C-alpha cells in the first residue's frame, strides 16, 4: 500500500556528506546520544526545525529517578511494570531504573539545575508513582532546562556538528544495512548523509490527532521512514492521552502538568463535584488512562466538552511552583490561583514505535533508535509519568556505547555505496494540509481514547484511500510529514483493530476486559505485512 521511498533518487547523482554517527532529532534522546557518541567518532545531528523544537522542550512535570531516601530502583520498577499493564519488557525496565539515577547525575554534572529543597533535590509525585521521585527544574520548566544544557553542550562540542532545518525523507538501506538518510535542505536540495550508524531519535507523533499536547514537529517521521525501510514496529496501538490539556476553544492544547495533581490539585465535574475517588483508589493520581476515561464519562454525564482542574488550594504558591502553567493560563484569561482551569484529554505520548533491544539496535544493521520514536519495552501498554526523559538518557547512552566499534570499518564501504530508488509516482489532486486535517479528525473520532471494531474498520478504509497521497512526490516538508502521518495512522488503527482486548491506554468498547490468555504479547507490524 505504501512506497518504500517517498521520493525517487540515484545515490550516484546525489550530493553526499559523511560522518561516523548520524543522529536524527534534537530532543533529550538525540542530543544525549550525540554527546556520548562524540567520544568515539564524528557525529552529525540533523534536526527538522530549530534545536529546541522538540517534545523535550515542552516537558513540564519532570524526570523520574529513584534517588529519594525512601525510594529504590526496585520500587520504581514495580510502579513502571504496574503502569505498563503486563506488556513491559522486564530487562529493559531493570536497565531504566538501575541506570537512570547515574544518567540524571551526569545531567547535573553537565550543568542542569534541578530544584532543591535544602541540600536534597525537591521531588514531586505524579500519577501511579508510589513515591515522590520526580525531579523538576524552574518549577515546571524541566524540559526547557534540560534542552538548554544539552544544546549548549552539543553546540560547543568539537565532535558534534548540528544542522538545523533539515527534513529527513528516508533511510538509505543497502543489502539490509542502514547507511544513513536522504534529506532535504532548506533550499530544497536533496542530500545523502552517510554514516556507519544512524540513530532515529525523532520523537513521537502527537500530530496524528486533532487534539494534542505535542508541538507541530511531532509528526513521527522517524517511525514512518523506519517502517518503510523494513524495521519492525511494535505496540503502535498504545497512545497515551494526557488527561489535562488546557481546553479553550480555538487555542493550542497546552499541557497542564500532572505534577499539579501531585501537589494537591483535583479534578471536578461540570456540577462542581470531585469525582476521581469514585473511579480509582488513587483518585486524581490514578494512571492516566483511568483518569482520561473517567473524565470522558463525567463530561458525557454533564453534557460538557471539558472538566475543571482545581488548583486553587495552592493559592499564592501556584505562581512560584508552576510559573509556566500560571503565566500561560493568565495569558488565556484564567487565574489558576483563584479559579479552576478548563481541561480535557489530548494525545500526548506514543508507547509503541521502532522495536529495539536494550542497546537501541533495530532489526536493520546500522539502524538504532531511542526516545519516543523507539519501543524498547519500558512503557508496555501505558507509560509511567516522567519516565520518558529518563528513557532518552539511559538508552541514548547505551546506544553510544554499542556503536563505538563501528568506526573501524573501511571508509570505501561508504564511498562506494550505490543505490537507485525508482518506484513511480502518482499525481494527487488534493493538498497536504487537507489530508492532514482529515487524518487528525479521523484519528480523534475513531482511533482515540475509546475504540471499537466498527470505528477502526471505517478509519482503515478511509486511510487506505488517503494512502495514494504517499505515492505523490512530496515537494514540501509539510507533504513529507503528511505522508508519514498517513502511514502511521494506518499502523495505529491496524494495531488497535488487531488487539481485541482492553489494556493500559488501549480501550476497546467491544472488548472491555483485559485478556491475558490471548493478548500478553506485543503487536508487531512489518512493511511486508
Ligand atoms: C506532565 O508534566 O504531566 C507530563 C509528564 C509526562 O508526560 O511524563
Backbone angles phi, psi at 187, to 5 degrees: -85, 5
Ligand 1 near 258 CB (within 6 A):
yes
84 C-alpha vs ligand 1 centroid, how far in Å?
A: 16
Domain that holds residue 123: 9-238+351-416
Ligand 1 near 56 CB (within 6 A):
no
- The CATH number for 430's domain is 1.20.58.100
The whole-number pLDDT of residue 307 equals: 97
The whole-number pLDDT of residue 475 equals: 85
The whole-number pLDDT of residue 412 equals: 87
The whole-number pLDDT of residue 122 equals: 96
Pocket test for ligand 1, best of 28, 258, 389 (most atoms within 8 A of CB): 258
In this structure, is residue 185 part of a structural domain?
yes
The whole-number pLDDT of residue 473 equals: 87
In this structure, is residue 454 part of a structural domain?
yes
User: Which cell numbers hold the place of 361?
Assistant: 539496535
From atom 2 of ligand 1, which residue's Cα is the shortest distance away? 61
- The CATH number for 321's domain is 3.90.700.10
In tens, the pLDDT along 156-194 reads 999 999 999 999 999 999 999 999 999 999 999 999 999
Could you tell me if 119 and 39 lie in one domain?
yes
CB 83 within 8 A of CB 400: no
Pocket test for ligand 1, best of 58, 386, 392, 393 (most atoms within 8 A of CB): 386
In sequence order, what E strands does 126-238 have? 134-135, 160-163, 167-174, 177-184, 190-194, 197-200, 233-234
- Is the pLDDT at 408 greater than 90? The verdict is no
**Triad 59, 63, 65: Cα angle to 5°:** 170
In tens, the pLDDT along 137-148 reads 999 999 999 999
Closest to 469 measured CA to CA, from 482, 458, 478, 456: 482
Could you tell me if 228 and 256 lie in one domain?
no
The Cα-based distances of 361 to 37, 148, 178, 358, 398 in angstroms read: 15, 28, 12, 7, 10
In this structure, is residue 362 part of a structural domain?
yes
In this structure, is residue 526 part of a structural domain?
no
In this structure, is residue 520 part of a structural domain?
no
Could you tell me if 55 and 120 lie in one domain?
yes
Give, as one character, the DSSP assignment of residue 401.
Answer: H
Domain count, the chain: 3
- Is the pLDDT at 529 greater than 60? The verdict is no
1 C-alpha vs ligand 1 centroid, how far in Å?
A: 36
**Triad 109, 110, 115: Cα angle to 5°:** 70
pTM attached to this predicted model: 0.97
Atom of ligand 1 nearest to the CA of 240: 7
Active site residues: 288
How far is the C-alpha of 150 from the C-alpha of 477, rounded, in Å?
A: 26
In tens, the pLDDT along 64-104 reads 999 999 999 999 999 999 999 999 999 999 999 999 999 99
- Is the pLDDT at 447 greater than 60? The verdict is yes
Amino acid at each position: 500500500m505504501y512506497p518504500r521511498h517517498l521520493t525517487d533518487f540515484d545515490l550516484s547523482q546525489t550530493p553526499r556528506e559523511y560522518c561516523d554517527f548520524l543522529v536524527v532529532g534534537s530532543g533529550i534522546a538525540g542530543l544525549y546520544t550525540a554527546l556520548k557518541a562524540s567520544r568515539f567518532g564524528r557525529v552529525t545531528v540533523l534536526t527538522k526545525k530549530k534545536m529546541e523544537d522538540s517534545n523535550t522542550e515542552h516537558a513540564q512535570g519532570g524526570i523520574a529517578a529513584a534517588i529519594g531516601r525512601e525510594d529504590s530502583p526496585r520500587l520504581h520498577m514495580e510502579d513502571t511494570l504496574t503502569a505498563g499493564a503486563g506488556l513491559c519488557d522486564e530487562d529493559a525496565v531493570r536497565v531504566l531504573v538501575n541506570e537512570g539515577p547515574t544518567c540524571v547525575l551526569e545531567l547535573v554534572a553537565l550543568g542542569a539545575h534541578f530544584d532543591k529543597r535544602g541540600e536534597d533535590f525537591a521531588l514531586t509525585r505524579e500519577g501511579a508513582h508510589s513515591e515522590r521521585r520526580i525531579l523538576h527544574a524552574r518549577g515546571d520548566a524541566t524540559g526547557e532546562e534540560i534542552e538548554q544544557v544539552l544544546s549548549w553542550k552539543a553546540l560547543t562540542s568539537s565532535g558534534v556538528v548540528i544542522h538545523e532545518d533539515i527534513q529527513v525523507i528516508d533511510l538509505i538501506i543497502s543489502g539490509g544495512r542502514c547507511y544513513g538518510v536522504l534529506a532535504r535542505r532548506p533550499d530544497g536540495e536533496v542530500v545523502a548523509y552517510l554514516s556507519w550508524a544512524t540513530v532515529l531519535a525523532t520523537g513521537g507523533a502527537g500530530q496524528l490527532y486533532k487534539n494534542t499536547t505535542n508541538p507541530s514537529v511531532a509528526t513521527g517521521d522517524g517511525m514512518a521512514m523506519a517502517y518503510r525501510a523494513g524495521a519492525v514496529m511494535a505496540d503502535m496501538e498504545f497512545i497515551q492521552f494526557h488527561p489535562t490539556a488546557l481546553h479553550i476553544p480555538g487555542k493550542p492544547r497546552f499541557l497542564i502538568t500532572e505534577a499539579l495533581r501531585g501537589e494537591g490539585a483535583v479534578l471536578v465535574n461540570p456540577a462542581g463535584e470531585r469525582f476521581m475517588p469514585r473511579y480509582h483508589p488513587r483518585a486524581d493520581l490514578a494512571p492516566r488512562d483511568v483518569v482520561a476515561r473517567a473524565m470522558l464519562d463525567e463530561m458525557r454525564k454533564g453534557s460538557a466538552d471539558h472538566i475543571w482542574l482545581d488548583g486553587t488550594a495552592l493559592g499564592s504558591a501556584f505562581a512560584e511552583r508552576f510559573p509556566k502553567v500560571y503565566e500561560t493560563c493568565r495569558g488565556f484569561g484564567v487565574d489558576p490561583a483563584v479559579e479552576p482551569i478548563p481541561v480535557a484529554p489530548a494525545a500526548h505520548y506514543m508507547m509503541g514505535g521502532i522495536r529495539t533491544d536494550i542497546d537501541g539496535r533495530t532489526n536493520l544493521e546500522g539502524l538504532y533508535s531511542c526516545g519516543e520514536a523507539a519501543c524498547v519495552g519500558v512503557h508496555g501498554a501505558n507509560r509511567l509519568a516522567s519516565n520518558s526523559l529518563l528513557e532518552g538518557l539511559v538508552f541514548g547512552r547505551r546506544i553510544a556505547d554499542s556503536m563505538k566499534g563501528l568506526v573501524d570499518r573501511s571508509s570505501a564501504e561508504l564511498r562506494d555505496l550505490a543505490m537507485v530508488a525508482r518506484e513511480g509516482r502518482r499525481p494527487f489532486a488534493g493538498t497536504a494540509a487537507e489530508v492532514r486535517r482529515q487524518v487528525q479528525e479521523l484519528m480523534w473520532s475513531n482511533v482515540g481514547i475509546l475504540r471499537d471494531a466498527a470505528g477502526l474498520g471505517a478509519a482503515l478504509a478511509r486511510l487506505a484511500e488517503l494512502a495514494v497521497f504517499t505515492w505523490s512526490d512530496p515537494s514540501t516538508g509539510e507533504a513529507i510529514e503528511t505522508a508519514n502521518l498517513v502511514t502511521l495512522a494506518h499502523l495505529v488503527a491496524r494495531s488497535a483493530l488487531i488487539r481485541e482486548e482492553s489494556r493500559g491506554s488501549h480501550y476497546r468498547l467491544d472488548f472491555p476486559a483485559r485478556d491475558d490468555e490471548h493478548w500478553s504479547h506485543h503487536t508487531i507490524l512489518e512493511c511486508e505485512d
